[in-house]
Amino acid sequence: MLNGDSSGSAVSHVGSLNLQSTHRNYTLHDTLYVPNLRKNLISIHHFTKQNNVFVELHPFHFFVKDATTGVILLKGACNNGIYIFPDSLVTPQKVANVHEWTSIDGWHKRLGHPSLKIVHHLVKNFSLPISSQKTFSSLCHSCSINKIHQQSFRGTSLQSHAPLELIYTDVWGPASYTGIDGSRYYLIFVDHYTKYIWFYPMATKSSVSNIFPLFKKFVETRFQKLIKTLYSDNGGEFIALKSYFSRHGITHYTTAPYTP
């Protein structure tokens, strides 16, 4: 803050000041807290603009009047050329919502980790003091930990050293539209070692039991190897093949329930 002699004073906080009188309450936003000042100073411009009043100055007193009706709302004295508000209005207990200057990231943490959109809304509408317009420098660690719905996945222990040792499979659907071949689902196989992908359109989920034997014969002939392990979710279309897997020596792994 700049003083009358061009020297500066440090501002430690910014807040709102609420002044109460018998007629009405007065509010001053963007009030600066300067520890070095011994007197409370009020900006007439801010006071009149924010409270819809005007101030009438006289040699030995002043009036605060309603800007619409002209009714006198407050009267104060002039002491040695300084117009003084009544002591009953200016007390330390009337200061509220005082905050330290901080960044957008700081307000995000103080306000309970809301989204960036909400933080900007609160800063703008409540004139919260910010030291920098810089947004989050990185993803908030607390938000990433507390707002996730599932725990982080650990590194997989599954390994493959040759084609067909481990194959992932899943079914997607139903689609909103039916394909020209009548398909509304698709079945996908992914080889863990080669990353090859095989894609099969299907009319129903039950088609998996017919497609998998054909797929098995095709890939085993192509790679001259046997399928060792199949990894799927707990879908009924895969569980129905349990006896088939057992007859052909295929290990069937499934994901934990309700886990992608």
Model confidence pLDDT, tens digit, residues 46-62: 888 888 889 998 988 99
Of 20, 21, 45, 46, nearest in space to 31 by CA: 46
Catalogue all structural domains in the chain, each as residue range(s) with its CATH number: 13-98 (no CATH), 101-133 (no CATH), 167-254 (3.30.420.10)
The CA distance from 224 to 13, in Å, is 76
pLDDT digits (tens, 9 = 90+) for 205-235: 999 999 999 999 999 999 999 999 999 999 9
pTM: 0.43
Residue type, 239: I
Question: Residue 198: beta bridge partners?
Answer: 189
| 197 close to 218: Cβ distance less than 8 angstroms | no
